[in-house]
Chain A
Amino acid sequence: MNLFQLALRNISRNAFRSWTIFLCAFYISGFALAMMLIVHGAEQSLDLANQRLGADILVVPNGSEQKVETSLLMGNPTNVWMPREVVEKIARLPEVESISPQLYLATLTNAACCSVSNMFVIAFDPQTDFTITPWLEQRLGRALNPGEAIGGMYVFTPPGEEGIKIYGTFVRLMGNLEPTGTGLDRALFISFDTAYDIARNSRTRAVEPLQIPDNSISAALIRVRRGNAAQIVSMKIEQQIPEVTAIDSPELFLSYRNQINGLAEIVWMVLAIALVLSIAIVDLIFTMAVNARRREIAVLRALGSTRRSIFFSLLAEANLLAFGGGMAGLALSALAVYLFRNLLVSSLQMPFLLPSLPELVFVLAIGILVVLAAVSISVLPPALAASRREPALAMRE
């Protein structure tokens, strides 16, 4: 019988001990992976949303910062307006390289004239846009024509329809952007011309007309010239145009970032406590097991087993259980996070993006190593004590 077989036999002989260690490893690895995926997924999603906007500064009407941030992150449509002349005023600033206005619109709720209920629609100006247009030129090789649209990852044309119906007007979906895990994945991007066409047509084709106030925009995206700090430029904008709020890129989604950081701190604390408790439980169980098996270990030593083989057989036993429990916990946790990602996003009110496969494999490997290390640490003292015990003394005890 080799070391591995001895460990397997010991595992099958004591169900309570084996299950306890298995479940400790299962819980620690599963909980750690789930939390890591959620926190990391939310952070990654925020970074991607920032990249997708591609602006150094976002200018919105005063008091609507939270509404706009929530719309961009969670995809809940918003209705905010500011005068269009703001764009000209900001464009005159020497620090501003480019500025592009946007209109934030929404489809009607449960109306036959809209394919999708309460969908966030972003209209951009193709003449000045620097967020969607470069992507379009790369993929389509041209700008969007009137009546065409680009969707986020989850936007699709309803089966059997010629396009997505918005206020009674069909728009053709020309492609989908890469996922960001935010509300932008459920948003539809159209040009200003298409938006104004839809508004005009909606008076006769829709249950309610689409209202776009004259000479108004919802937000403006700004790129700052090299060598200028976005924070200083945004302060200058707010001083010169008091009716707007300028949010520089690092400050964008700050409340969400703080929320995620707060969650991460709590998660690491709970995880640390759970890890220490698990180490203590496994240590206690193995100490009891080694004491209960002292005669058996002494017999093994008397029959010629070395201290080293006794030590490694106990270590192998614990690590086999930890590996099994850890792998099961990681697999179940990864599957649960993957399957319930939409529920997580809506319940936590946080954006979320799953990691890529190599990233996931890396995290899984780290997870299993942490579990094996934790169990090895907890088994080390009783295994060392058992291997050092004199066989004659152990048999007499």
Chain B
Amino acid sequence: MKAAGVLMIALAIAVAVVSLVFNCQAEGRSLALANGTTVPMKCFWSAMAEIAVAVPLLGVGGMLALSQGRETQRTLAVTGGILGAFTMLIPTVLIGVCANPDHDCNRIMLPTTLMAGTLIIAVSLITLFISEGRTEASAA
């Protein structure tokens, strides 16, 4: 499970860093209102939410790398999978990113978080499958 944990940590870091660097606010782009004030675009809020998901994911990855118990590994795998799903849902369904396909949030942040989310879910499923198998083997 060490490999799965390390992979999850790497993916969580990738999600956090990419979200932090490649949102429109970080690149100096914001929405100008009629009264002259500026507000962040929605990719900024997506990026903040992604960081909020990446932090617990980092913890899940760390615990998965260190855990020995099958039950713990199963619980961590399920938690990782749910967090992976949220990684994908935030920039697509829950908050979204800018509509312009040329913005970096669309070109880099969105695909990276979707790719990372897919991999996190895949790693979680494989972990769950392996720990399930081992539990059955030890029970037999």
What CA separation (Å) do A186 and B106 show in the bound complex?
Answer: 15
What CA separation (Å) do A112 and B33 show in the bound complex?
Answer: 10
Please state if B118 and A335 are interface contacts (CB–CB under 8 Å).
yes
List, in ascending order, chain B residues with CB within 8 A of A158's CB.
Answer: 99
Please state if B99 and A156 are interface contacts (CB–CB under 8 Å).
yes
Sorted from nearest, which 8 A-B pairs have the closest CB atoms? A339-B111, A343-B107, A342-B107, A340-B111, A342-B101, A339-B114, A339-B115, A154-B101
CB-CB nearest in chain B for A340: B111
Number of interface residues, chain B, beta carbon within 8 A: 13
Interface string of A329-362 (1 = CB under 8 A from B): 0000001100110110010000000000000000
The distance from the CB of A166 to the nearest CB of chain B, in whole angstroms, is 16
Cβ of B136 within 8 Å of any chain A Cβ, yes or no, is no
List, in ascending order, chain B residues with CB within 8 A of A112's CB.
Answer: 32
Please state if B111 and A343 are interface contacts (CB–CB under 8 Å).
yes
List, in ascending order, chain A residues with CB within 8 A of B106's CB.
Answer: 342
> Residues of B at under 8 Å CB distance from A?
32, 99-102, 106-108, 110-111, 114-115, 118
Q: Which of A111-132 contact B (CB under 8 A)?
A: 112, 116
CB-CB nearest in chain A for B106: A342
List, in ascending order, chain A residues with CB within 8 A of B100's CB.
Answer: 116
List, in ascending order, chain A residues with CB within 8 A of B111's CB.
Answer: 336, 339-340, 342-343
Please state if A343 and B114 are interface contacts (CB–CB under 8 Å).
no
Please state if A346 and B108 are interface contacts (CB–CB under 8 Å).
no
List, in ascending order, chain A residues with CB within 8 A of B102's CB.
Answer: 342, 346
Number of interface residues, chain A, beta carbon within 8 A: 13
The distance from the CB of A16 to the nearest CB of chain B, in whole angstroms, is 13
CB-CB nearest in chain A for B108: A343
List, in ascending order, chain A residues with CB within 8 A of B101's CB.
Answer: 154, 186, 342
Please state if B115 and A335 are interface contacts (CB–CB under 8 Å).
yes
What CA separation (Å) do A346 and B32 show in the bound complex?
Answer: 26
What CA separation (Å) do A101 and B98 show in the bound complex?
Answer: 35
CB-CB nearest in chain B for A116: B100
The distance from the CB of B6 to the nearest CB of chain A, in whole angstroms, is 15
Q: Which of A138-160 contact B (CB under 8 A)?
A: 154, 156, 158
What CA separation (Å) do A328 and B34 show in the bound complex?
Answer: 50
What CA separation (Å) do A343 and B118 show in the bound complex?
Answer: 19
CB-CB nearest in chain B for A343: B107
List, in ascending order, chain B residues with CB within 8 A of A343's CB.
Answer: 107-108, 111
What CA separation (Å) do A346 and B108 show in the bound complex?
Answer: 11
A-B contact pairs, 21 of them (CB 8 A): A112-B32, A116-B100, A154-B101, A156-B99, A186-B101, A335-B115, A336-B115, A339-B110, A339-B111, A339-B114, A339-B115, A340-B107, A340-B111, A340-B115, A342-B101, A342-B102, A342-B111, A343-B107, A343-B108, A343-B111, A346-B107
Known A336-B111, A339-B110, A342-B106; 18 more pairs at CB < 8 Å: A112-B32, A116-B100, A154-B101, A156-B99, A186-B101, A335-B115, A336-B115, A339-B111, A339-B114, A340-B111, A342-B101, A342-B102, A342-B107, A343-B107, A343-B108, A343-B111, A346-B102, A346-B107
CB-CB nearest in chain B for A344: B107
List, in ascending order, chain B residues with CB within 8 A of A342's CB.
Answer: 101-102, 106-107, 111
The distance from the CB of B48 to the nearest CB of chain A, in whole angstroms, is 22
List, in ascending order, chain B residues with CB within 8 A of A116's CB.
Answer: 100
The distance from the CB of A42 to the nearest CB of chain B, in whole angstroms, is 17
What CA separation (Å) do A92 and B76 show in the bound complex?
Answer: 77
List, in ascending order, chain A residues with CB within 8 A of B115's CB.
Answer: 335-336, 339-340
The distance from the CB of A352 to the nearest CB of chain B, in whole angstroms, is 12
CB-CB nearest in chain B for A342: B107
Residue among B32, B100, B107, B108 with the highest chain A CB neighbour number at 10 A: B107
The distance from the CB of B100 to the nearest CB of chain A, in whole angstroms, is 8
What CA separation (Å) do A343 and B106 show in the bound complex?
Answer: 9
CB-CB nearest in chain B for A158: B99
Residue among A116, A156, A158, A339 with the highest chain B CB neighbour number at 10 A: A339
CB-CB nearest in chain B for A341: B111
What CA separation (Å) do A342 and B118 show in the bound complex?
Answer: 19
What CA separation (Å) do A237 and B54 show in the bound complex?
Answer: 62
